Structure 1
Amino acid sequence: MDIFVLLLSIALVVALLGLLCGVLVFWRVPIIRDKGNSTSSVSIIIPARNEELRLKPLLESIVRQQYVTYEVIVVDDGSTDRTRELARSYGATVISNELLEDGWIGKSAACWAGALAAENKLLLFMDADTVFTHPDSLSNYIASFESMGSRGILSLQPDHYAEKWYEQLAFLFPLIVMVGMNVFTIAGNRLKAGGSFGPCLLCEKAQYQQVGGHAVVRGAVMDDLALGKAFQEHDLPVRCFGGKGIAWLRMYPGGLSDMVQGYSKSMASGSTATLPLVMGLIYIWMAGASITPMMLVASGFSSTGWLGVSIGLYTLYAMELVIASRRVGRFVWWIFPLYPLLLIVFILIFMYSLYLSKRKGSVQWKGRNINV
């Protein structure tokens, strides 16, 4: 066997292992089914900093919610736009975030301020860019939490709606975020969740206060992961579900720069929550996905029939991503035949995130320097 065929054979093994790892780490994403109506009341807490454009769809979706009693608290985190006025126009209670000293990070401080002002039994922390999908979404969300004993956290990763080209090319980020939570693998709940999702996080106020709430994670860049771990340390369960049918989001409609800054802020820090086993499977999948296009190019110079094998592998990786995308959100079909470009975008931003966290130590986000 000549060296060329040997290298192609090794590449074939890596590619096949990568495909298998992709199946194992993204085995199943549970979603909330119709659980009927809930009788509990909930305080919806929305931290907001210059969210005038993104906040309106969420508030409009909240006022359409049926079968549930709620209050809406928008915590203004130093906005310079019309965030406060917009929130009041939809009947929300608006309070100011005053806790920006002694190691507090803006979002954690805003969530804590909202929780202190909340009057209801349940707390639902929502990012300003989320939107409820149906008029009964909130009721189903709460009823599902109650069916689980109303203990711990029930967090959702909303469906990710991508519209602009750069959002499409960032597809791997929401995918890896979900995979990195550990619980969507073939092992399911036998693995411990890496924390909770931040966009939709539901818990009981009494239990939130018991673990110390956002005050105990005041300096965490990924407050959602840290809060989930705080609940787990008090033997309270953390459940992570897909948000299909309950909520959707557009994370970075503000432009490419916002997207790069946002993912750079979170990716390197968030990766520490992923179990080594799951991280190893992700690395093998990425290795296989990276080597397959190189194998396709190399096999074009071979006369031993490797070209057909390489085309088949490339197609399988694209199909695997198509299937995964349906569990993550809405993406256009044409990005998946271009999946090597998705890998390049992911690797470049992840490396930049590592640089910021390990060398520079901070990132600019919404006009603030945040230590990462």
Structure 2
Amino acid sequence: MQLPAVAILLSRLLKGPTRHPPLEPRSAAPDSFGVVSVVVPTLNEAERIKPCLEGLTRQSYEVREIIVVDSHSQDGTADLVKTAQERDPRFRLMNDDPLPSGWVGRPWALHSGFLASSDHSEWILGIDADTQPHPGLVASLIETVYSENYDLISLSPQFILKQPGELWLQPALLMTLVYRFGAAGEKNSPPERVMANGQCFFCRRSLLVQLGGYTSARGSFCDDVTLARFAAAQGARVGFMDGAKILKVRMYEGMAETWKEWGRSLDLKDAASPGQIWGDLWLLLCVQGLPLPMLMLSALLVGRGNTTLPAIAALGLNGFLVAMRIALNGAIAASYDRSQAKSAWVFWLSPIADPIAVLRIFLSSTQTPTQWRGRTYGN
């Protein structure tokens, strides 16, 4: 059962050396004045939106406007945006209308911001409130899409980790994405395997008009991937790239919140067919969930004198998978900012969390969220 899964995994990982290099900060070009409208959806983000607002302020003249679409926050989020507006007139605060039936809150806020944006902007940049944009982020996005003829690109960030529990679990959860879709920057993925990240989602305005804004992802809890795959299926050129040098994010506080909040969206079931979902679960089980337990079991059997071919093969194969996973932990180290972490060394123990991470994807794949980003949804 494991052998064909290992072959599929290796075929994906071996593309790593040819992937698109990480994006670098850039300076704005003279002809890019006012070509971008930024849309930031918010709901009770007062505790973490300040670095996002500050990072957007540091973007240059290529940003025409920064529209913060607030879903009637009760924690002072709006006041922070108004304070930012006093320093930077590009900020504009608006409230979205009541959530229509069949919509999830985040795509509804993004759709509302898109409809309210200037027709003179050629690009729409969706940015989450928990991100920390570096200077030169938007200029780098513009240079990439124009030089490489993309219609839509999104970025994987550098994750800020602080607590030991998240240092242990979060990299294992991230590895479920790497094993299923390869590393950020891979090229020419078929539409049904396209990856995306809504934390930094840069789309040609004319493409969004063609797609009807965010309506195709209105009921999706992974609206970023749903919309990107829909765009790719319509013939758009879509890319998912490494943005660790120009974008940071502090997603969740601690292990429990990481398990609950991020874990329930990583299955991507709203953007995939049942066959894809179960195929990915089989792959994760074989190459990430089983290797450590199988290695321990086969080592025990061989140590007790069981030198049959199945026992030796299981020991060798799963030893290889565990060793590869340890090496990949080193490969993704640059995707993490551990400078503020307590017990940063716990990061290197994350391969031990792999069976738990795979279990989380299994659980999420069989459940539909009833609560998401401060909202409650019915069945």
TM-score (norm 2): 0.79
Deviations along 1:300-335, one digit per CA (max 9) or x if unpaired, are 4349797x9799647624532323323643464444
Residue of 289, 293, 298 corresponding to 1:295: 298
Distance 1:283-1:194 versus aligned 2 partners, 3 A rule: farther
How far the C-alpha of 1:158 sits from its partner, in A, is 1.0
CA distance 1:363–1:345, shift in 2 (3 Å): farther
CA drift at 1:266:
1.1
Q: Is the 8 A contact 1:182 1:278 kept in 2?
A: no
Report whether the alignment pairs 1:343 with 2:354: yes
Change (3 A) 1:321 1:181: closer
Partner of 1:189: 188
Partner amino acid, structure 1, of 2:51: P
Does the Cα contact within 8 Å between 1:261 and 1:363 map onto a contact in 2? no
- The equivalent residue for 1:252 is 252
Q: 1:241 to 1:176 in 2, by over 3 A?
A: same
Cα distance, 1:49 vs structure 2: 0.8
Which stretch has the larger CA shift, 270-279 or 103-112? Answer: 270-279
Tell me the residue number matched to 2:234: 234
SS in 2 for 1:93: strand
Asked whether the 8 Å contact 1:43–1:70 carries over to 2, the reply is yes
SS at match of 2:49: helix
> Is the alpha carbon distance of 1:365 and 1:162 closer, same or farther for their aligned partners in structure 2, counting shifts above 3 Å?
same
Q: 62-71 or 218-227, which moves further after superposition?
A: 62-71
- Following superposition, the deviation at residue 273 of structure 1 comes to 3.5
CA contact (8 A) 2:211 2:231 kept: yes
| Structure 1 unaligned residues grouped into runs of 5+ | 1-9
- Going from structure 1 to structure 2, the CA distance change for 1:344 and 1:370 (only over 3 Å counts) comes to farther
The answer as to whether partners of 1:261 and 1:364 remain within 8 angstroms in 2 is no
Residue 375 of structure 2: aligned partner: 368
Q: 1:67, 1:136 within 8 Å by CA — same for their partners in 2? A: no
In structure 2, the CA distance between the partners of 1:197 and 1:366, relative to structure 1 (3 Å rule), is closer
| Contact 2:284/2:358 (<8 A) preserved | no
Partner in structure 2 of residue 32 of structure 1: 23
Instruction: Give 2:375's aligned amino acid.
Output: R
Q: Which residue of 2 aligns with 1:110?
A: 109
Please give the alpha-carbon distance, in whole angstroms, between the structure 1 residues aligned to 2:272 and 2:334: 21
Distance in 1 separating the partners of 2:239 and 2:55? 24
Does the CA-based 8 Å contact 2:123-2:205 persist in structure 1? yes
Letter in 2 for 1:207: L
State the one-letter code of the partner of 1:72: I
**Conserved in 2, the CA contact under 8 Å of 1:108 and 1:218?**
yes
The Cα offsets for residues 272-318 of structure 1, whole Å up to 9 and x where unpaired, read as 54995983654432233442233344444349797x97996476245
Matches of 1:352 and 1:35, distance apart in 2: 41
Judged with a 3 Å threshold, the aligned counterparts in structure 2 of structure 1 residues 329 and 189 are, in CA distance, closer, same or farther, namely farther
What TM-score does the superposition give when structure 1 sets the normalisation length? 0.81
Determine the structure 2 residue equivalent to 1:62: 56
Give me the whole-angstrom Cα distance separating, in 2, the residues matched to 1:104 and 1:87: 25
Instruction: Return closer, same or farther for 1:214/1:99 CA change in 2, 3 Å cut-off.
Output: farther
Give the aligned partner of residue 5 of structure 1.
none
User: For each residue in 1:37-95, what CA deviation from the matched residue of structure 2 results, as whole angstroms up to 9, or x when unmatched?
Assistant: 33332111110111111111111112222363332111112311011111121122111
Q: Taking structure 1 as reference, are residues 296 and 363 closer, same or farther at Cα in structure 2, changes over 3 Å only?
A: farther
Q: Name stretches of at least 5 consecutive residues in structure 2 with no aligned partner.
A: 86-90, 339-343
Q: CA deviation at 1:205?
A: 1.5
Distance 1:312 1:222 in 2: 34
Q: Is 2:287 the partner of 1:285?
A: yes
SS in 2 for 1:213: coil
Q: Is the 8 A contact 1:172 1:346 kept in 2?
A: yes
Total equivalences in the alignment? 350
Q: Which residue of 1 aligns with 2:88?
A: none
Deviation at 1:346, TM superposition (A): 0.7
| Alpha-carbon distance in 2 for matches of 1:347, 1:32 | 30
Cα pair distance change 1:309/1:371, threshold 3 Å: same
